[in-house]
Amino acid sequence: MPDVKPFLRLSHEGALKMLNAAVAKATAMKVPQCICIVDNGGHLLAFVRMDGGNIQSFDTAFRKAQTSAANGQPSGGIEAGVDMKLAVATEGKRINLPGGLPIIVDGHVIGGLGVGSGTGAEDLEVANAGIAALAGAKAF
């Protein structure tokens, strides 16, 4: 096994492309959102709170993005009971609400995209639009 492996990284241009696509979708839906994009370590790359987006939804959008990046799975699918233990163990850094999607390119998790302020279904629809804007990203 080699000592090093190639690593894909999400550029700020890619993050902004996804952010703009998600904003366009939320605007078309008439659902102002908080939209957050993180790298694979959960660090913030891009964020917008649209006019009318819930002020406190930054926290949920950020945690959804971090959760999906860390797990490589959409947020909201953690087994009941385990979700509370995970939230306690991570001091609230992992959240079990729909609207977070991992950003996966060529089998590599390169980040996460989280959306908050709408219903779970609306958040997920906006997140999917953001992911779809990145060439080669896995669709959910």
- pTM, whole model, 2 decimals? 0.94
Residue 117: how many CA atoms within 13 Å on its side-chain side? 25
Question: Which pLDDT score is estimated for 92?
Answer: 82
pLDDT of residue 83: 84
Q: Closest by alpha carbon to 112, among 20, 12, 44?
A: 44
**Using one digit for the tens of pLDDT, what is the confidence trace for 89-129?**
988 888 999 999 999 999 999 999 999 999 999 999 999 99
Query: Would you list the domain boundaries of the chain?
Result: 12-132
The CATH number of the domain covering residues in 12-132:
3.30.450.150
CB neighbourhood size of 9 (10 A): 11
* Rounded Cα distance, 59 and 57, in Å: 5
Residue keyed to tokens 């370590």: 41
What gap in Å lies between CA 37 and CA 47, rounded to an integer? 6
Residue 27, pLDDT score = 98
